[in-house]
Amino acid sequence: MLAALTLCVAIFSANWTVLTAAQEVIITDLALTPMSAVWLIYAFPIALLGVLIPVKGRLSVLLCGLAVFGLASAACAFAVHGGMLIACRFGQGLAAAIVLRAGFELIRTHFRGTRWWPALVIPVVAVVLGQIAGPVIGGILAEYAGFRWIFLLDVPLVIGAMVIVALCTPRFAPAAAADRYER
């Protein structure tokens, strides 16, 4: 479960910074205005404020959030103009926020006492690594494959994360078998 959630965090944190190296290519291809270019970069982190949304049914919400993130990523890849790409980036960020909220609630539920902090550190390290890897991945893909591949790459990663989450996440809290997660 922790590995699956760490994969999700790594995907989301790389997506936060992935467009910084590809921004000029996207501006040219989609004829973005300077203000649109700013929104393109900041739509994702602004939407991450959705992490403040309370969630119930952590596992089902996490899986739905991953599905929405994957769909938003595919929509980003096929965006025909800047406004559509910005809206899809906002959708990615909101879906990521919901997944993060549900995922960290799962960690809090399954890792209690002194095990909670070490379990939290692993995804936080993935955030840092994703932030560093994002511009490198974005630059390479934008230069050699086209910026749309930045978003298409998310789709198989999200599907893999969904499979791992579905297979590896316990359905019951360790301390209370009566606490069932919604499916």
The CATH number assigned to the domain holding 131 equals: 1.20.1250.20
pLDDT score for 178: 42
93 inside domain: yes
- Is residue 23 assigned to a domain? yes
For residue 106, what are the domain limits? 2-165
Nearest by Cα to 12 from 142, 167, 149, 128: 128
Contact 130, 16 (CB under 8 A): yes
**174 belongs to a structural domain:** no
What pLDDT is stored for residue 1 in this prediction?
Answer: 76
| Within a domain: 179 | no
112 touches 65 (CB < 8 A):
no
Residue 49: per-residue pLDDT: 87
Identify whether 29 is part of a domain.
yes
Print pLDDT tens along the chain (183 aa). Answer: 788 888 888 999 999 899 988 999 999 999 999 999 999 999 999 998 888 877 776 788 889 999 999 999 999 999 999 999 999 999 999 999 998 888 888 888 888 777 878 888 888 899 999 999 999 999 999 999 999 999 999 999 999 999 998 888 777 665 544 444 444
Q: Is residue 147 part of a domain?
A: yes
Q: How many distinct structural domains can be found in the chain? A: 1
What per-residue confidence (pLDDT) applies to 180?
A: 46
Q: 172 forms bridges with which residues in the sheet? A: 180
Q: CA end-to-end span of the chain, whole Å? A: 16
Q: Please name the residues in contact with 120: beta carbons below 8 A apart, sequence gap of 6 or more.
A: 104, 107, 111
Asked if residue 173 is part of any domain, the answer here is no
Q: Residue 100 domain-assigned?
A: yes
